[in-house]
Structure formats: structure tokens, C-alpha cells
């Protein structure tokens, strides 16, 4: 069984869907692995390391996927895939893409749709990548802030610790809290989900936020934040506005699955901040949590606040991000691997398969995009 690993074509995408470590394990399953030339260079993995692990180095995407039964990718590929191939990646699934995969006879699995259940934790690409994004956001925020993070006592006087405020306490936010604490900042955080308050406090940060009856039901069964009312966000904004004016570094991580990121920092809030303050917007891929974020750019406001709006934050730490992502895909494939047939066997009744599989047998089967067909 041939498994192809493609070089990413999206601008700024530095990750790769396999590493020499996972290539060896894929070969142990019985796969012949073909890696497109240059696929790992942006992650610090030369072709020679893939070859040493037993992979064939294919000259281009067409050569890599020729005869492939399985294709690993980070983003949705541009290259045509063989009919019947199993495509596994973060495909930014929507109805049009799903229909395209079905028409091409490709069985597509979009890993960002993985259900948040215990069985799926080791293959949860969103969690593994968000963890790194939260870490990297604080590191880059600290680098952009020119006054230092920890309190430092010197013969010449004391340098005060930075005030760091983390907005959103999901996987990325909790890692951002932990990283900011390790760097010595005074850390506070906010989140609308009721369980987040204790998680924030457990990491040594102060909780900031408005709480009412609506906020007690602000979490889905899958652990994601729900979209709340305009009235709630207005009251939350009042609390945040007073707090944010005193902050040195603000890291925004709030996302609502399947929707544009909520605007948590208004222009007025930005203008209230001190010159030299920094806002790091991890949610820039989804439109941003800050009203002034420019996705893909660093922007400095007239009052001297730097807004870091880079997209693809995990891709800013590519070696680690690729290593974790590749293990996520390997775990998914291994979980559904038929050892006797030496092939994947995706049970359509399995909760994980139902969560990620977009297409099967030339039809769209995911209930988000084709409810009638998925019934």
C-alpha cells in the first residue's frame, strides 16, 4: 500500500505531515511511503533524512500520489489525487470542498473536525497545534515588548514584572498562561466557559470576567465555547476594558468552532493601552479577536501599541508542530488499521470516523455538509 506525503503549497505553511520517526512506523504497518521532494525543508527535515528512514523521494506531487492509496497532508492539496485514495489532513472543510472530494472519488477525512472525546486525544490535531501556538504567542509577545517580562532587582533599581493578560483559556490559552508565568509575568486571564475559572486559577493566574446565568451554559458538550448573546459580550467588554488598559502584553486565543472569531478588543480598548504595549492575536486566522488586527501582519497603532496578527501560529514553530501533527495522523491511521489486510478500515459507525470523514463511496457523508446523505 502506497502512502504519499505532500509538500505544502499554501503560502506560509511550514509544516509537513510526516517525519522520519513516523515514516519508520508507517513502514512497520506495511506502507510504502513516498515523500515529495522538499516537503520537510521548512521544518528542518532534509530529503536525506526521509530517505534514511525508508521513504521514496518523489520528484513532485504527481509522482508522489501516483498509485497512492493514502495521502497525508497538512492543508487541502492542490494536486489531483487517485480515485479511491484516502486523504487525511486539516482540510478546512466546507460543503464545496466536500462535494469536490466526492466527485473525484476521494475518501476525505478532515482532522480538525475530530470529536473531543477521550479516545481521540492522542490524534487531536487542534489540541497539539494550539498548545504550540499558545507557547509561541507568548514568546513572540515577550520579544516584541521592550521592557522585559520578569521582575528584576538590580543595584541600579528594580524592573517591574510585565502584566500579561490571556483572553481565552482553551488549550492555547492555558499554555499561554503557563508560558507567561514561567517567564515571570504577572498573569491574568479570562474565558466565558464556566470550567475555565478554576483552570486559570490552577495555573497561578488571576481570573477576570463577568459571570451570570448565561455564562454558566457557555460550553458545548465537546468542550468548545458557545456563541453568547450581544448583551453578555457587552457586559464582559466592560470588565475587560477596565482591566486591559493596565496590561503590557495581551494574548488573544478565543475561537468559536465554525464561526468568525469574536471581537474581544475594540479600537477604544487598544487606544486606552500604554505606548509599547503588545497585543498577540492567535485568532487572526479566523478574523481576529482584536478589531485592529491585520491578519498576516504586525501593525503599530498611532498610540504605540504593537498588534501581532500572524496567521498559522503553529507554523511559526514548524519542527515541533510537524512532529506532533505527524504523530496525530499516525495514531489515527494506526487506530483504524487492519493488520491482516494491511490497509485502513474506517468503520462508518465509529464516533471518530463519523466526526472526521467527509466523503465515502463518491458521496458526502458528513452531517455538517450533507445531513440527508449522512442519515
Please identify which of the residues 75, 99, 116, 147 carries the catalytic annotation: 116
How far from each other are the two terminal CA atoms of the chain, in whole angstroms? 31
* Cα–Cα distance for residue pair 40/19, rounded to 1 Å: 8
116 counts as catalytic: yes
Please identify which of the residues 83, 119, 121, 212 carries the catalytic annotation: 121
The set of cell numbers assigned to 278 is: 503588545
The set of cell numbers assigned to 157 is: 533599581
Please identify which of the residues 75, 147, 210, 224 carries the catalytic annotation: 224
Where b means 16+ CB within 10 Å and e means fewer, 191-213 reads bbbeebbebbeebebebbbbbee
124 counts as catalytic: yes
* Cα–Cα distance for residue pair 344/340, rounded to 1 Å: 10
290 CB-near residues (< 8 Å, 6+ apart): 252, 263, 264, 265, 270, 279, 281, 307, 309
Determine contact, residues 224/126, Cβ cutoff 8 Å.
no
210 counts as catalytic: no
53 CB-near residues (< 8 Å, 6+ apart): 20, 21, 23, 24, 27
121 counts as catalytic: yes
Please identify which of the residues 124, 191, 248, 285 carries the catalytic annotation: 124
240: left (phi over 0), alpha (psi -120 to 50) or beta: alpha
Please identify which of the residues 43, 127, 129, 247 carries the catalytic annotation: 127
127 counts as catalytic: yes
Residues with a catalytic annotation lie at 116, 121, 124, 127, 224
Amino acid at each position: 500500500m502506497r502512502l504519499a506525503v505532500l509538500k505544502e503549497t499554501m503560502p506560509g505553511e511550514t509544516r509537513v505531515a510526516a517525519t522520519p520517526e513516523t515514516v519508520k512506523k508507517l513502514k512497520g504497518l506495511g506502507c510504502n511511503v513516498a515523500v515529495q521532494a522538499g516537503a520537510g525543508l521548512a521544518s528542518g527535515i532534509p530529503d536525506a533524512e526521509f530517505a534514511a528512514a525508508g521513504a521514496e523521494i518523489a520528484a513532485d506531487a504527481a509522482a508522489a500520489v501516483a498509485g497512492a492509496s493514502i495521502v497525508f497532508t497538512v492543508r487541502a492539496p492542490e494536486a489531483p489525487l487517485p480515485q479511491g485514495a484516502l486523504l487525511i489532513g486539516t482540510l478546512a472543510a466546507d460543503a464545496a470542498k466536500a462535494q469536490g472530494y466526492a466527485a473525484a472519488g476521494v475518501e476525505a477525512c478532515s482532522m480538525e473536525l475530530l470529536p473531543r472525546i477521550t479516545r481521540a486525544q492522542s490524534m487531536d490535531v487542534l489540541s497539539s497545534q494550539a498548545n504550540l501556538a499558545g507557547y509561541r504567542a507568548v514568546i513572540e509577545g515577550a520579544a516584541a515588548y521592550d521592557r522585559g517580562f520578569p521582575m528584576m532587582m538590580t543595584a541600579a533599581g528594580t524592573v517591574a514584572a510585565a502584566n500579561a493578560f490571556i483572553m481565552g483559556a482553551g488549550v492555547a490559552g492555558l499554555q499561554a498562561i503557563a508560558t507567561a508565568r514561567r517567564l515571570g509575568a504577572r498573569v491574568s486571564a479570562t474565558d466565558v466557559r464556566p470550567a475555565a475559572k478554576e483552570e486559570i486559577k490552577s495555573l497561578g493566574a488571576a481570573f477576570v470576567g463577568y459571570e451570570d446565568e448565561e455564562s454558566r451554559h457557555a460550553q458545548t458538550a465537546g468542550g468548545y465555547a458557545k456563541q453568547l448573546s450581544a448583551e453578555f459580550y457587552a457586559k464582559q467588554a466592560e470588565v475587560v476594558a477596565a482591566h486591559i488598559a493596565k496590561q503590557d502584553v495581551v494574548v488573544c486565543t478565543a475561537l468559536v468552532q465554525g464561526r468568525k472569531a469574536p471581537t474581544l478588543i475594540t479600537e477604544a480598548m487598544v487606544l486606552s493601552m500604554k505606548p509599547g504595549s503588545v497585543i498577540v492575536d492567535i485568532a487572526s486566522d479566523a478574523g481576529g479577536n482584536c478589531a485592529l488586527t491585520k491578519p498576516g501582519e504586525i501593525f503599530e497603532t498611532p498610540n504605540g501599541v504593537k498588534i501581532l496578527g500572524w496567521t498559522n501560529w503553529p507554523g511559526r514553530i514548524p519542527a515541533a508542530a510537524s512532529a506532533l501533527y505527524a504523530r496525530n495522523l499516525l495514531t489515527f491511521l494506526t487506530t483504524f488499521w487492519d493488520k491482516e489486510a494491511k490497509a485502513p478500515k474506517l468503520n462508518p459507525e465509529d464516533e471518530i470516523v463519523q466526526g472526521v470523514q467527509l466523503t465515502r463511496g463518491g458521496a458526502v457523508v458528513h452531517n455538517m455538509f450533507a445531513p440527508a446523505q449522512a442519515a
